[in-house]
Amino acid sequence: MTPTADLIKRRLEALHPTALHLVDDSAAHAGHAGARESGGGHFHLTIVSDAFQGKTLVARHRMVYTALADLMQQKIHALQIEAMTPDQF
């Protein structure tokens, strides 16, 4: 696990996930212009949390982005999110 991935996981603990799976896809995007400029990585996140109950998909993504706000566009260039409740997992 990379230092950035560890940091992402620690920040997402604020959402009290019951399951969290993070894949660092940065190597697959090596040389990508945007990634070169920002230096940030590409990640795929699956997160399951009761905090998402009653929230729209957009609201769930906003919750994740809020938890990671200071990492976005610096350590994270691209983030693919699958955010669900435990009954959807």
CATH number, domain containing residue 36: 3.30.300.90
- Dihedrals phi, psi of 75, to nearest 5 degrees: -95, -20
- How many structural domains are present in the chain? 1
Give the model confidence (pLDDT) of 2-34 as tens digits.
899 999 999 999 999 999 999 999 876 566 555
Domain that includes residue 37, residue range: 3-88
Give the model confidence (pLDDT) of 28-80 as tens digits.
656 655 544 556 889 999 999 999 999 999 999 999 999 999 999 789 989 99
Is the alpha carbon torsion for 55, 57, 62, 65 positive or negative?
A: positive
* Dist. CA 14–CA 49, nearest whole Å: 10
* Dist. CA 86–CA 88, nearest whole Å: 5
Strands 19-24 and 76-84: unpaired
pLDDT category of residue 89 using cuts at 50, 70 and 90: very high
